Amino acid sequence: MSRDHPTLPHQTTPAGLPTKESSTSFWHTEPSPLLLGHRSTRNLPEKADIVVIGSGITGASIAHHLLTTNDPNNNDPSSNGNRTRGPNVLMLEAREACWGATGRNGGHCQPLLIENPHDPSIGHFELKNFRTLQDLIKEKEIDCEFVEQPGVRGIYSLHHLREAEESLKVMETTAPELGGFMRIVTEKAELRRLRIPTADGAVVTEIAARLWPYKFVARILEDLLTSTTLSGTFNLQTLTPALSLTPAQNGPARSWTITTPRGDISAQKVILATNAYTSHLLPDSFTNLILPCRGQMSALQPLPSLTGSSRLQTSFGFLGDGLDDYLIQRPSERGGHLMFGGGRQHGPSISETDDGVVDPQTARYLRTRLVGAFGLPEGKAGGEKREDEGGEGEGEGEGEREKVQFTAANEWSGIMGFSRDERPWVGAVPGEEGVFVSAGYTGHGMPNSWLCGKAVAMMALAGREGEGGESAGRGRGVEEEGEEDGEVMQKVMRETGLPRSYILTKERMERAEMRGGGG
């Protein structure tokens, strides 16, 4: 069972830069004073050991693990006890910190354990990500509204329901420990109790959470900027887009030049946490492998029937043919906003890179859809009817209910990076020595990106050599290719749980290109 992804066309045009002007995300209404316009140094450094491009959750994870993890050589007996200085890390961000996908998402963090029944390593990895974030938020006492709660995924298609039932059946054999977190509901009385009376069924999972993603990332970056105990140094330069990435003509061998409007930077290693925009810097490698996809979000003021003791007790997903929506509700004492996103079927999405656009038809859908989906009494009573703005409903009576509108505090869009083979790309880029990527989460970054960032940071710290990371087994770790894992990759997979199918290899790129009509 998988989410209802749009079909990806063959893409020949690389992504551009993030737009200068963007729609206003609710998550950005309480920005970090330290991070806004932050430049650690007035002048752009001319060089760095490692340049990280992107400041969302992946970039924050990469920087965090680069600077709080001891260099692997520190445990090498041949080092004679001499500890290696940590790296000088420079982070570049085209706009404000965490102003891209992480600062624009739905506020969900839910491992979708049912989606890969034949590869339980993915479910285990997402679960480990979830617990890692949960523990880190607790350890640092980060006020980001993180609340663990059940997740309900309403299914509005018999085809998708059968897929879910088959997936859970497979998991009885492949991963019973994961399957035990979930149950499928089809009884109408139970569906009504779950508040989705018109659904054909639902997958209910015990493992899900809601949070304010920007506040989590902001705290991680703030700690790096203010810490006095890092193993290296951290320099954040916002409002500094990376225009191009080219092999250095001068300076040390195997180094790179990052060109920005404020000057050039030389670095031995570059890690791209650029998600949808990755092909802007690596057009030959990723134009047809990670495609931009615009999603739309809304922060809705709750109607009376969704306040007090009647507020939502779970997070929600809504899945069907052409339907892939998602919903959480913020704390009642902080407004109780319904953070509702999706509606991609109503407006342009694939290959769209402008997050300054709020599609009006999608916005109307998001303001009206929940009245019918939940069967809210305000719909039956009439409420604020706007005859010209009904949404597409599911089930008897929804057409009338969906003429009732929620009031939107904010409506905005964000750009996701959809992977050609539906797996993130994590690792060293073949043929581009010293360049690493962690990107392409296909709208499912929160339960993946933190440990993907750790994995790619470990690879960069290990000083891998050769095309695509030869000393780490050429990015090996794909069992079906019959190749033995390299020592570094074994360690990465052991410590992070990184699935083999996420690892960036030349062979995987070629297979994905063939899948996308590029071969």
pLDDT digits (tens, 9 = 90+) for 10-49: 999 999 999 999 999 999 999 999 999 999 999 999 999 9
Type of residue numbered 507: E
Which residues make Cβ contacts (< 8 Å) with residue 359, sequence separation at least 6?
296, 346, 347, 348, 413
pLDDT at 458: 97
Class at the top of the CATH hierarchy for domain 32-103+214-289+420-515: alpha beta
Query: pTM value?
Result: 0.90
Cα–Cα distances (Å) from 207 to 130, 181, 469, 483, in that order, read 8, 7, 35, 35
Write out pLDDT tens, residues 97-148: 999 999 999 999 999 999 999 999 999 999 999 999 999 999 999 999 999 9
Determine contact, residues 418/291, Cβ cutoff 8 Å.
yes
The architecture in CATH of the region 148-208+292-418 reads 2-Layer Sandwich (3.30)
| Radius of gyration of the chain from its Cα atoms, rounded to whole angstroms | 23
List every span in the chain annotated with CATH 3.30.9.10. 148-208+292-418
Query: Looking at the predicted structure, is the pLDDT value of residue 481 above 60?
Result: no
At residue 4, the pLDDT reads 64
Q: In the chain, which segments carry CATH 3.50.50.60? A: 32-103+214-289+420-515
Q: Could you report the per-residue pLDDT of 390-419, keeping only the tens digit for each?
A: 334 444 445 555 578 999 999 999 999 999
- At which residue do the structure tokens 């071969």 appear? 519
Whole-angstrom distance, CA of residue 137 vs CA of residue 125: 18
